[in-house]
Amino acid sequence: MGTRVLIVDDHAGFRAHARRLLECEGYNVVGEAADCAEALEAAGQLSPDFALVDVYLPGEDGFALTNRLQALGAAPAVVLTSSRAESDLAECVEESSACGFVPKSALSRETIEEVLP
Amino acid sequence: MALAVLGFVAGLVPLVLALATEGGHQRELIAITGPVIGWAFIGTGVYAWARQPDNRLGALMTAVGFSSCLAGLRVSTEPWVFIVGLLFITSQWALLFHMLLAFPRGVVETGFERLLVAAMYFSSVVVHPVMTLFHDTTRQGFPENPLLIGDGTDLSDLTRVRFWFTLGLLVALTVILAQRWSAQRGAPRKALAPVFVSGGLVMALLGVWYAALLAGVGQDVIDGLEDARYVVLATVPFAFLAGLIRTRVAEASAVSQVVARLGDPALRRRGVCHAMDEALRGTSLEIAYRDEDGTYANCAGDRVDIPPADPRRDAVSLEAGGEPVAVLTHDATREDERELVRTVAAAATLALENERLADELRAKVEELSASRARIVESGDATRRRLERDLHDGAQQRLVSLALSLRILSNRLDGNTEAMRELESARTELDHAMDELRELARGIHPSLLSDRGLDAAVESLAHRAPLPVELELSPGDRLPERVESASYFVVSEALTNVAKYARATHASVNVTRDNGRVLVEVSDDGVGGADPGNGTGLRGLLDRVSSLGGSLEVDSRPGSGTTVRAEIPCE
C-alpha cells in the first residue's frame, strides 16, 4: 500500500478532488478532516504518514494545527496548502514546523515529494 | 438748583471770612483751599446726585463740601463762629472715609466696612465735639471757646486714645482700598485709580498727621502735613469726576468684554457667568442663567427670583433660538444704565445665539464625521465580504478545476496531442487564478486581516516593481480600520510611484507614536503629483479624515513625492 495521507480542509469540494487526485497518483488517503479537532482525532486513530493541511481553517489555523500534530506520539509530516499566494505565506511556512507548502492548484505527487523529507 | 446756589454761597463764606479776619487761624490755607474744596465737592456732588439719585455718593460729596465750608469758619476770631468751625473740622474726614468705601456704587457692601464707617462717624461727630467742650482753645492762641465747661488737661490721654483709634481706622481703610485695587483688572481698575489715589492720599496724610501728633514731632511738620492734606483734598472731586467718566468707559469696555468672553468657546455658559460678572462689576447689572426646570440661578448657583422680588430691579430676558436662556437684571432707577442694559442685552443675546448656532454646527459636524466613518467602515466590511466570496467561491472552483485537469492528464497517458491541449488549458487556468488573486487582494488584502499591517506592508513592498526600503516599528495589532487606512495609504502611494513617478527607489516608513500611526511613503521620482487630481489620493484623504487623521502630499516637481498620513488609533 502507498503512503498514508490525511486531508485537512474545511471545503468538502476540495477534499473530494484532492482525494481523487492523490489516489490517482498512488497515495493511500486514509481520512479527511474539516477542522483542527477532527484532524487531531483522525491523526491519533489513523497514524497517517503525512497530513495535507489547509492554512486557513475555521478556528485554529493550519500553523497551529501543525504545532499540535507535532506534539502527538507518532507525529505525521505536514504539508501546508492554500489557494492564496505562496509569497504571502512563505515567511510563516518557514517559521512553522511543517515540511513545506504546495499551492492547491499545483497539487501533484511531484510537488508533494519535493517538500516531503 | 437751590442746593447749587446754597453751595456757591457756602463756598464764599470761608473766603470772605478769611479775607476779613486779620490773624485768623490757618487764614491763608482756608482762603485758598476753602472755596475751592467747597465749590468743587458741592458742584460735582450735586451733579452726580442729579444724575444718579439712588447712588449715595453724590449726597456724600455734597455733604463733604458743606462740611468743609463750615469747618472754614474756624478762621474767624469771633468765638461762636470759630467754635462752629472747630466742631465741624473732623466731620469732612468721616464723610470722605465713607465715600471712599462706598465708591463707585454708593453702597458700603460688607458688615465690617459698615462698622468701620460707623466708628469713624462716632469718633468725628460724637467724640470730637464732646471733647471740644473741654478744650481750652486760648492755650493755643485761638479765640476763646464759649462752649468750655471744664478743664480738659486731664483728658489728654483720652485725646491720644481717639487719635490712635482714628489712625487704626485709617490703616484699615488703606488695607481695604489696596485689596479692592488689586482685585480689579483692566478698565474697572482704571476707573478706580483717580479716586483711590487722591482720596487714599488724603486719608494717608490724615493718618500720618495723627501719627505725627502722637509722636510729638515739631509744629512745622504738623502744619506742613495739614497744608498738604487740604491741597490734595481739593483734587478729590476732580478725581471723582474722572472716575465717573472712566466708569462709563469701563462700562463700554464691559460690553465688549461680555461679547468677547461669551464668544470664547473655551468658556461654556457657567464659566462665562463668572467672566460676565467680573466684566459687569461696578454696575447694577447681574446675569442669571435659566436652569432646565425653568428657574434662574446666578453664578454662585443661588436661586434668583424672576421677576425680581426687589421692585426697583427689572429683568431683561436673553434668548437664543427663540428659547429664554438667561436674564439680565438691573436697577431700574438708574437712568444712566439704560443704554448699558440695552447694549449688554443685545450683545449677550447675539453671543448666546452665536453659541447656540456653534453648538448646532458642532453637533452636525460630529454627526457627519460619524456617518462618514460608518460609510468607510461599511465599505470595508463589503470589501472583506467580497474578497471572502471570491476566495470561497470562484477561487475554490478554479482550484477544483485545476485538480480535475491534473487527474485528466494522468488518465490521458500517451495521447500527446490531447496532453498539449490540456497543458494549454492549465496555463490559461493558472493565469485566471493569478488574476483573480490580484483582484481579490485589491479588494481587500486577506493578509492584513490575518497577519496585520506589517506583514501586509511587507507584501506590498515585495510585489512593487522597484526597490522599496522598509522601516516598520512592530507592535500589537491596531484597530482594523486604522490598519486598513494605513495599508491603503501605502498601497495607493506605491501604485502611484510605479505608475507616474519614474522613480528608482522608494521608502515606506510606518511608526507608532503616542497613540497615533505615522505612515510615510516617499520616492526619488519626478514629483509634481497633484492630490486634487485623481480619485486615488482623494479617496485616501476621505478615509484618513474619517478617522480624525490627516494626509499631506509633498510633491514639488523634480524633488520626488512624499505622502504622509497621521492616523489616531485610540
Strand segments (E) across A1-117: 4-8, 28-33, 50-54, 77-82, 100-103
The pairing of strands B296-297 and B286-290 is antiparallel
Check CB contact under 8 Å for A92 and B392: no
Q: What is the pLDDT of residue B469?
A: 94
* Residue of chain B with shortest Cα separation from A26: B410
Q: Chain B residues contacting A, CB < 8 Å? A: 391-392, 395-400, 402-404, 406-407, 410-411, 429-430, 433, 437, 441, 446-447, 450-451, 455, 459, 462-463
Omega cis (within 30) before B324 = no
Beta bridge partners of B507: B469, B522
Q: How many angstroms separate the CA atoms of B535 and B537, rounded?
A: 6
* Residue of chain B with shortest Cα separation from A23: B407
Distance of CA B494 to the CA centre of its chain: 49
Distance of CA B78 to the CA centre of its chain: 63
**Closest Cα partner for B404 from A108, A31, A56, A26?**
A108
Cell of A36: 483542527
Check CB contact under 8 Å for B406 and A108: yes
Q: Which amino acid is at B423?
A: E
Dihedral over Cα of A95, A97, A103, A104: its sign = negative
Residues in chain A: 117
Q: How many CA atoms lie within 13 A of B37 on its CB side?
A: 31
Q: How many angstroms separate the CA atoms of B105 and B476, rounded?
A: 66
Judging contacts by C-beta atoms under 8 Å, the chain A residues touching residue B451 are: 92
**Closest Cα partner for A72 from A101, A46, A110?**
A46
Place of cell 502527538: A72
Which of A22, A56, A83 to mutate against chain B (most B CBs within 10 Å)? A83
Cell of B6: 446754597
Tell me the shortest Cα–Cα distance from A73 to chain B, in angstroms: 30
Question: Could you tell me if B519 and B488 are in contact, meaning their C-beta atoms sit under 8 angstroms apart?
Answer: no
Judging contacts by C-beta atoms under 8 Å, the chain A residues touching residue B399 are: 14, 17, 83, 104-105
* Residue of chain A with shortest Cα separation from B435: A85
Tell me the shortest Cα–Cα distance from A41 to chain B, in angstroms: 26
Judging contacts by C-beta atoms under 8 Å, the chain B residues touching residue A106 are: 402
Q: How many angstroms separate the CA atoms of A116 and A110, rounded?
A: 10
Nearest to A14 among B399, B430, B441 (CB): B399
Q: Give the number of other CB atoms < 10 A from CB of residue B154.
A: 9
Cell of B226: 495739614
Check CB contact under 8 Å for B451 and A92: yes
* Residue of chain A with shortest Cα separation from B432: A105
Residues of chain A with pLDDT below 50 are none
Q: Which amino acid is at A56?
A: Y
Check CB contact under 8 Å for B403 and A13: no
Q: How many angstroms separate the CA atoms of B238 and B382, rounded?
A: 81
Axis crossing angle, helix B480-496 with helix B453-463, rounded to the nearest 10: 10
Q: How many angstroms separate the CA atoms of B5 and B46, rounded?
A: 11
Q: Which helix (H) or strand (E) holds B286?
A: strand B286-290
Check CB contact under 8 Å for B399 and A25: no
Distance of CA B84 to the CA centre of its chain: 54
Tell me the shortest Cα–Cα distance from A85 to chain B, in angstroms: 7
Beta bridge partners of B563: B521, B553
Judging contacts by C-beta atoms under 8 Å, the chain B residues touching residue A104 are: 399, 402-403
Nearest to A83 among B395, B406, B451 (CB): B395
pTM assigned to the model: 0.53
**Closest Cα partner for B546 from B325, B322, B371?**
B371
Judging contacts by C-beta atoms under 8 Å, the chain A residues touching residue B392 are: 11
* Residue of chain A with shortest Cα separation from B447: A88
Nearest to A21 among B406, B441, B463 (CB): B406
A50: region left, alpha or beta (phi > 0 left; psi from -120 to 50 alpha): beta
Query: What is the per-residue burial (b if ≥16 Cβ within 10 Å, else e) of B386-424?
Result: ebeebbeeebbebbbbbbebbbebeeeeeeeeeeeebee
Q: What is the pLDDT of residue B266?
A: 47
Nearest to A20 among B407, B433, B462 (CB): B407
Check CB contact under 8 Å for A104 and B399: yes
Cell of B437: 488573486
Axis crossing angle, helix A86-95 with helix B453-463, rounded to the nearest 10: 130
- Cα distances (angstroms) measured from residue B124 to each of B61, B130, B132, B171, B182: 17, 10, 11, 16, 29
Q: What is the pLDDT of residue B326?
A: 80
Q: What is the pLDDT of residue B184?
A: 74
Tell me the shortest Cα–Cα distance from A105 to chain B, in angstroms: 5
Tell me the shortest Cα–Cα distance from A40 to chain B, in angstroms: 23
SS3 state of residue B143: coil
Judging contacts by C-beta atoms under 8 Å, the chain A residues touching residue B447 are: 88
A81's CB contacts (< 8 A; 6+ apart) are A9, A52, A53, A54, A55, A101, A102, A103, A104, A107
Question: Could you tell me if B314 and B258 are in contact, meaning their C-beta atoms sit under 8 angstroms apart?
Answer: no
**Closest Cα partner for B48 from B66, B31, B60, B32?**
B60
Instruction: Provide DSSP, B66-89.
Output: HHHHHHGGGG-SSHHHHHHHHHTT
Check CB contact under 8 Å for B403 and A18: yes
Q: Give the number of other CB atoms < 10 A from CB of residue A4.
A: 17
Question: Which 8-state DSSP code applies to residue A105?
Answer: G
SS3 state of residue B329: strand
Q: Which amino acid is at B226?
A: E
End-to-end CA distance of chain B: 76
Cell of A48: 497517517
Which of B395, B399, B428, B460 to mutate against chain A (most A CBs within 10 Å)? B399
B322's CB contacts (< 8 A; 6+ apart) are none
Instruction: Give the ranges where B184-331 is alpha helix by DSSP (H).
Output: 186-215, 219-262, 269-279
Q: What is the pLDDT of residue B476?
A: 84
Beta bridge partners of B314: B330
- Give the pLDDT of chain B (570 residues) as one tens digit per residue: 677 788 778 777 777 777 777 776 677 777 777 788 888 888 888 887 877 777 788 888 889 888 888 888 888 888 888 888 888 888 888 999 998 888 877 788 788 999 999 999 998 888 888 888 888 887 777 888 888 887 766 677 788 888 889 889 999 998 888 888 887 776 667 777 888 888 888 888 888 888 888 888 888 888 888 888 888 888 888 887 777 666 666 666 666 666 565 555 444 455 556 666 666 766 777 878 777 788 887 777 788 888 888 888 888 887 777 778 788 888 877 666 777 777 777 777 777 777 778 878 888 988 988 898 888 889 889 999 999 899 888 998 999 999 999 999 888 877 888 889 999 999 999 999 999 998 998 899 888 888 889 989 988 998 899 999 999 987 888 888 899 999 999 999 999 999 888 999 999 999 988 889 999 999 999 988 877 776 778 888 888 988 889 999 998 888 899 999 999 987
Omega cis (within 30) before B307 = yes
Nearest to A17 among B395, B400, B441 (CB): B400
| Helices and strands, number each (H, E), in chain B | 18, 10
**Closest Cα partner for A4 from A42, A36, A55, A60?**
A42
Judging contacts by C-beta atoms under 8 Å, the chain B residues touching residue A85 are: 437, 441
Q: Which helix (H) or strand (E) holds B469?
A: strand B468-472
- Cα distances (angstroms) measured from residue B374 to each of B234, B380, B546, B568: 76, 10, 9, 16
Integer Rg of chain A from CA:
13
Q: How many angstroms separate the CA atoms of A42 and B227, rounded?
A: 118
Q: Which helix (H) or strand (E) holds A19?
A: helix A12-24
Cell of B408: 485528466
Check CB contact under 8 Å for B455 and A91: yes
Check CB contact under 8 Å for B396 and A17: no
